[in-house]
Amino acid sequence: MASSTRKTTQLEGLVVAKRINPGSKSDHEAVVLVSERGELKLRRKGGPPFGDEELGRLAGRRIRGVGLVSAGQFIVDRYDIIDD
Amino acid sequence: MQIDKIIVTNVTALRGKYGSKYGQVSAALAALKASDAARGLKSRLVALDSASDMKAAGGKPVSGSADERGAKAAIDAVYRKYQPAYLMILGAPDVVPHIRLTNPMHGTDEDDGDPNVPSDLPYACEAPFARIPSRFIGPTRVLGRLPDERGATSPEFLVRLIRFAAGHTCRERSDYSGHFALSAKVWQKSTRLSAETLFGPGAAVRTSPPDGPSWKKAQLAPRVHFINCHGDTISSKFFGEFPKGKFFDALDAARLPGRVSEGSVIAAECCYGAELYAPDDADGARGISSTYLGEGAYGFFGSTNIAYGPSEGNGQADLVCRFFLEAVLTGGSLGRAAVEAHQKYVAQYSHLDPSDLKTAVQFTLLGDPSIHAVKHASHSFSKTTTIKSARKSGVVADGARAFRRERINRTGHNLSHTVGAASPVSLRPPPAVKRLLEAAARESGLSAATWRSYRVRFPAEADRASSAGTRSSRRERTIHVVQGRTGGGGERRRPQLTAIIATLERGRVVHIRRVHSR
pLDDT digits (tens, 9 = 90+) for B46-56: 999 999 999 99
End-to-end Cα distance, chain A: 41
> Residues A64, A70, A72, A75: is their CA dihedral positive or negative?
negative
- B130 and B182 assigned to the same domain: no
CATH number of the domain within which B123 lies:
3.40.50
> Residues B349, B350, B353, B358: is their CA dihedral positive or negative?
positive
Q: Looking at the partner chain, which of B245, B247, B305 has a beta carbon nearest the beta carbon of A48?
A: B247
Tens-digit pLDDT profile for residues B386-395: 988 988 888 8
Query: Which own/partner pairs from B118-123 qualify as long-range (CB within 8 Å, at least 24 positions apart)?
Result: B118/B93, B118/B275, B118/B304, B118/B305, B118/B362, B119/B304, B119/B361, B119/B362, B119/B364, B120/B89, B120/B145, B120/B364, B120/B365, B121/B342, B121/B360, B121/B361, B121/B364, B122/B72, B123/B71, B123/B72, B123/B75, B123/B87, B123/B89, B123/B99
pLDDT at B107 over 80: no
Is residue B403 situated within a structural domain? no
Tens-digit pLDDT profile for residues B55-74: 999 999 999 999 999 999 99
Asked if B305's CB is within 8 angstroms of A71's CB, the reply is yes
Stretch B366-388: mean pLDDT: 91
Is residue A32 situated within a structural domain? yes
Most confident of B110-119, B126-135, B379-388: B126-135
Asked if B355's CB is within 8 angstroms of A2's CB, the reply is no
pLDDT of residue A4: 52
Domain interval for residue A24: 9-81
Task: Please tell me the least confidently modeled range out of B148-157, B182-191, B341-350, B398-407.
Answer: B398-407
Testing the interface with A: which of B14, B234, B311 to mutate, by most A Cβ within 10 A? Answer: B234
- B182 and B130 assigned to the same domain: no
- B368 and B440 assigned to the same domain: no
- B88 and B213 assigned to the same domain: no
- B227 and B360 assigned to the same domain: yes
Is residue A46 situated within a structural domain? yes
More confident residue, A37 or B497: A37
Instruction: Report the alpha-carbon distance of residue B57 to residue B80 in Å, rounded.
Output: 8
pLDDT of residue B487: 63
Number of domains in chain B: 3
Q: Name the DSSP class of B66.
A: T
Strands across the sheet with B363-367, in order?
B43-47, B5-9, B86-90, B143-146, B363-367, B299-303, B265-268, B224-228, B180-184, B206-208
Contacts (Cβ under 8 Å, ≥6 apart) of B8: B45, B46, B47, B48, B74, B75, B78, B87, B88, B89, B90, B96
Asked if B114's CB is within 8 angstroms of A2's CB, the reply is no
Instruction: Report the alpha-carbon distance of residue B41 to residue B1 in Å, rounded.
Output: 12
Closest-CA distance of chain B to residue A41, Å: 8
Cis omega (within 30 of 0) on the bond before B429? no
**What is the band of B432 on the pLDDT scale with cuts at 50, 70, 90?**
very high
Asked if A71's CB is within 8 angstroms of B114's CB, the reply is yes
User: Strand ranges (DSSP E) for B23-167?
Assistant: 43-47, 86-90, 99-101, 117-119, 143-146
Closest-CA distance of chain B to residue A1, Å: 6
- Kindly tell me the burial class for residue A25, based on how many C-beta atoms sit within 10 Å of its own C-beta (0-12, 13-18, 19 or more): buried
pLDDT of residue B496: 61
pLDDT at B42 over 90: yes
Is residue A65 situated within a structural domain? yes
B67 C-beta neighbours (distance < 10 Å), count: 18
Stretch B348-362: mean pLDDT: 92
A48 in contact with chain B, both atoms CB, cutoff 8 A? yes
Residue B44 contacts residue B82 (beta carbons within 8 Å): yes
Closest-CA distance of chain B to residue A81, Å: 23
Q: Looking at the partner chain, which of A20, A27, A70 has a beta carbon nearest the beta carbon of B518?
A: A27
pLDDT of residue B330: 96
Is residue A70 situated within a structural domain? yes
B232 in contact with chain A, both atoms CB, cutoff 8 A? yes
B106 in contact with chain A, both atoms CB, cutoff 8 A? no
Is residue A48 situated within a structural domain? yes
Q: Looking at the partner chain, which of B113, B247, B317 has a beta carbon nearest the beta carbon of A21?
A: B113
Asked if B279's CB is within 8 angstroms of A24's CB, the reply is no
**What is the band of B358 on the pLDDT scale with cuts at 50, 70, 90?**
very high
Asked if B246's CB is within 8 angstroms of A51's CB, the reply is yes
Chain B, residues 256-275, CB within 8 A of chain A, namely: 269-272, 275
Q: What is the pTM of this model?
A: 0.92
Asked if A1's CB is within 8 angstroms of B306's CB, the reply is no
CATH number of the domain within which A71 lies:
2.40.50
Residue B170 contacts residue B265 (beta carbons within 8 Å): no
pLDDT at A6 over 70: no
> Residues B361, B144, B192, B110: is their CA dihedral positive or negative?
negative
pLDDT of residue B489: 47
Stretch B287-299: mean pLDDT: 98
pLDDT of residue B355: 87
Number of domains in chain A: 1
Closest-CA distance of chain A to residue B447, Å: 15
- Kindly tell me the burial class for residue B424, based on how many C-beta atoms sit within 10 Å of its own C-beta (0-12, 13-18, 19 or more): middle
Is residue B467 situated within a structural domain? yes
Domain interval for residue B56: 5-136
Instruction: Encode B338-400 in three state secondary structure.
Output: HHHHHHHHHHCCCEECHHHHHHHHHEEEEECCCCCCECCCCCHHHHCHHHHHHHHHCCCCCCH
Is residue A61 situated within a structural domain? yes
CATH number of the domain within which B318 lies:
3.40.50.1460
Chain A hits for B235, CB-CB cut-off 8 Å, are 49
pLDDT of residue B490: 43
A72 in contact with chain B, both atoms CB, cutoff 8 A? yes
Is residue B398 situated within a structural domain? no
Average pLDDT across chain B, whole number: 92
Is residue A3 situated within a structural domain? no
pLDDT of residue B309: 87
pLDDT at B84 over 60: yes
Is residue A4 situated within a structural domain? no
Residue B224 contacts residue B265 (beta carbons within 8 Å): yes
- B92 and B10 assigned to the same domain: yes
pLDDT of residue A13: 97
Asked if A72's CB is within 8 angstroms of B151's CB, the reply is no
Tens-digit pLDDT profile for residues B475-507: 789 999 888 877 654 433 445 667 788 999 988
pLDDT of residue A5: 54
Instruction: Report the alpha-carbon distance of residue B361 to residue B335 in Å, rounded.
Output: 15
Distance of CA B190 to the CA centre of its chain: 19
- B229: nearest CA partner in chain A: A25
- B271 and B340 assigned to the same domain: yes
Stretch A28-53: mean pLDDT: 94
Is residue B309 situated within a structural domain? yes
Chain B hits for A27, CB-CB cut-off 8 Å, are 497, 517-518
Residue B291 belongs to what H/E stretch?
helix B288-294
Instruction: Report the alpha-carbon distance of residue B372 to residue B335 in Å, rounded.
Output: 9
Closest-CA distance of chain B to residue A82, Å: 26
A38 in contact with chain B, both atoms CB, cutoff 8 A? no
- B181 and B323 assigned to the same domain: yes
Chain B hits for A77, CB-CB cut-off 8 Å, are none
